[in-house]
Structure 1
Amino acid sequence: MDSSASRSDADLLAISAKIVVAGGFGVGKTTFVGSVSEVPPLSNEAWMTEAGAGVDELVPPGTKSTTTVAMDFGRITLREDLLLYLFGTPGQARFWFLWDDLSRGALGAVVLVDTSRIDQSFAAINYFENDSELPFIVAVNQFEGMPVHDLEEVRDALALSPDIPLVTCDARDPKSAVATLQELVSHTLSLAVVSGPGREFASLG
């Protein structure tokens, strides 16, 4: 068989899907997308200046010099028949109006959480629980040197519904980020709500 024909057939069978990576300011969305992207990630970042003091501020201060002002974009082949396009949302409240556009047509979402600033996670979780129909999972980003909390304690702190998967990840580690994406796809398939073009998406399961 002609190898080029085989590749063409594989391309026709492959399904592409859009994934949203959301969360509060500075939680690691840009790092997550960049760690797994097979292409140079597109990141719309701007330098943080004194004008942003008190608006875009991390604890501890001085740990972040840029901030996403539109979106992050990357691509990963999760399986030979499944191509994911990753869209990272900006975390600041003044950019939340972009979330609807970035979420439109998506397969699902990963909400990243930083347990040291857990209050900044509520807006993203509330959005996907109440204002969006997207399936989503919550991933606790384990920063180096930060305390590790029991996941059930985190679930209680977030008031997260028991049917929403809660996992840990290290946004810097490609294997960990891929495992998180696989968890999201598995969760989405279990809900049986998404169809790929020309065939049921659930057939990937």
Structure 2
Amino acid sequence: MGGFGVGKTTMVGSVSEIRPLTTEETMTQAGIGVDDNYGSASKTATTVAMDFGRISITDELVLYLFGTPGQERFWFLWNGLFEGALGAVVLVDTRRLEVSFDVMGRLEERGVPFVVAVNTFPDAPRYPVAELRTALDLPEEIPILDCDVRRRASSRDVLMTLMRLLHSLAMKGALT
């Protein structure tokens, strides 16, 4: 999950073992003044439903990946995911941290555990984790890590961090 243009579709595509199902459509004039595309001015397509990918951990354990649309007008689509999600990755762009607050707030309201992955765009400023944690108002138990969503290994590491968080919460009895 994350704001518009933070790399959700790219992340699903880079790590999925199957060819991901994407719902990208060409951006039109209808989005002007409605969608905030700051930092994504060259973006020509956007997710309008969900992206879907899959990773087989073992023969019995499969991780299903859903990339959500970032524009607020499509957030109603997130509701079904909240019902069955064990956890989430919140992708963050340091050029636009403010678009992350509503996403994290919705996850917190629903009790969905999450990790924060800072997508390392080439022109985006870099900050120490402690500064990001303060700026995002996140407690110590929520992992924050850098990620290049174009790289399979980097996206995999983010998902493994989420899996470790979920395992830790399950061992504490904090997952329902």
TM superposition score normalised by structure 2: 0.91
In the TM superposition, residue 80 of structure 1 has moved relative to its aligned partner by: 5.7
Match of 1:83 in 2: 62
For residues 45-74 of structure 1, the C-alpha deviation after alignment (integer angstroms, 9 at most, x for no partner) is: 111112211222422453210111111100
In the TM superposition, residue 82 of structure 1 has moved relative to its aligned partner by: 3.1
Q: Gapped runs of 5+ residues in structure 1?
A: 1-21, 196-205
* Partners of 2:5 and 2:40 within 8 A in 1: no
In the TM superposition, residue 109 of structure 1 has moved relative to its aligned partner by: 0.5
Q: Gapped runs of 5+ residues in structure 2?
A: none
Matched, 1:114 2:106: no
Query: Secondary structure of 1:147's match?
Result: coil
Look at both structures and tell me which one has the larger radius of gyration over its CA atoms.
1
The structure 1 residue matched to 2:138, chosen from 143, 160, 172, is 160
RMSD after superposition: 1.6
Match of 2:115 in 1: 137
Match of 1:39 in 2: 18
Query: Secondary structure of 1:43's match?
Result: coil
Distance in 1 between residues matched to 2:150 and 2:103, nearest whole Å = 21
Matches within 5 A, 1:1-205: 22-60=1-39, 62-79=41-58, 82-129=61-108, 131-192=109-170, 193-194=174-175
Distance in 2 between residues matched to 1:25 and 1:187, nearest whole Å = 25
In the TM superposition, residue 79 of structure 1 has moved relative to its aligned partner by: 4.9
State the 4+ residue runs in structure 1 displaced beyond 6 angstroms.
none
In the TM superposition, residue 128 of structure 1 has moved relative to its aligned partner by: 1.1
* Partners of 1:111 and 1:124 within 8 A in 2: yes
In the TM superposition, residue 90 of structure 1 has moved relative to its aligned partner by: 0.9
In the TM superposition, residue 81 of structure 1 has moved relative to its aligned partner by: 5.1
Aligned-residue sequence identity (percent) comes to 53
In the TM superposition, residue 169 of structure 1 has moved relative to its aligned partner by: 0.7
Query: Secondary structure of 2:25's match?
Result: strand
Higher strand share: 1
For residues 148-183 of structure 1, the C-alpha deviation after alignment (integer angstroms, 9 at most, x for no partner) is: 111111111111122211111111110000000000
TM superposition score normalised by structure 1: 0.79
